[in-house]
Amino acid sequence: MTTREPDLSAKPPILIVGGGLGGLTAALALARHGQPARLLEGAPAFGAIGFGIQFGPNVFYVFDRIGVSDAVLEKADSPAAVLMMDAFTGKEVTRVPTGPSFRARFKYPYIIIHRIDLHNILLDACRREPLITLESDAMVAGFVDHGDRVAVTTEDRRVFEGAALIGADGIRSRTRVQLLADGDPTPNGYMGFRTIVPMSDVTADVRRDIVALWGGPGFHIVHYPLRHGTLFNIAAVFRRSPSSERGDVTTYRAELERAYRNAHPTMKALLSMLDLGRRQAVGDRDPIRHWHKGRVVLLGDAAHPTLQSLAQGACMAIEDGLCLADCIAAADGDLMSAFRRYESARVVRTARVTFESRYIWDIYHSEGIRRDVYLQMLGERSEADTFQCLAWLYDGCTLPPQATH
Ligand SMILES: Cc1cc2nc3c(=O)[nH]c(=O)nc-3n(C[C@H](O)[C@H](O)[C@H](O)COP(=O)(O)OP(=O)(O)OC[C@H]3O[C@@H](n4cnc5c(N)ncnc54)[C@H](O)[C@@H]3O)c2cc1C
pTM, two decimals, is 0.95
Distance 3 CA to ligand 1 centre (A): 31
Contact 286, 186 (CB under 8 A): yes
Q: Which helix (H) or strand (E) holds 255?
A: helix 249-259
Q: Going by DSSP bridges, is the β-strand pair 111-114/132-135 parallel, antiparallel, or unpaired? A: unpaired
CA 83 – CA 93 distance, rounded (Å): 8
Number of helical (H) and strand (E) elements in the chain, helices listed first: 12, 18
Mutate to test the pocket of ligand 1, among 46, 169, 297 (most ligand atoms within 8 A of CB): 169
Locate the DSSP E strands across 155-260: 159-162, 165-167, 186-198, 211-216, 219-226, 231-239
Distance 62 CA to ligand 1 centre (A): 17
Contact 252, 183 (CB under 8 A): no
pLDDT tens for the chain, 405 residues long, are: 333 444 545 799 999 999 999 999 999 999 999 999 999 999 999 987 789 999 999 999 999 999 999 999 999 999 999 999 999 999 999 999 999 999 999 999 999 999 999 999 999 999 999 999 999 999 999 999 999 999 999 999 999 999 999 999 999 999 999 999 999 999 999 999 999 999 999 999 999 999 999 999 999 999 999 999 999 999 999 998 777 777 788 888 888 999 999 999 999 999 999 988 888 899 999 999 999 999 999 999 999 999 999 999 999 999 999 999 999 999 999 999 999 999 999 999 999 999 999 999 999 999 999 999 999 999 999 999 999 999 999 999 877 665 443
User: Does the beta carbon of 235 lie inside 6 Å of ligand 1?
Assistant: yes
CA 107 – CA 283 distance, rounded (Å): 32
Helices (H), 157-209: 174-180
Please give the DSSP secondary-structure letter assigned to residue 77: B
Distance 84 CA to ligand 1 centre (A): 25
Distance 301 CA to ligand 1 centre (A): 6
Contact 335, 288 (CB under 8 A): no
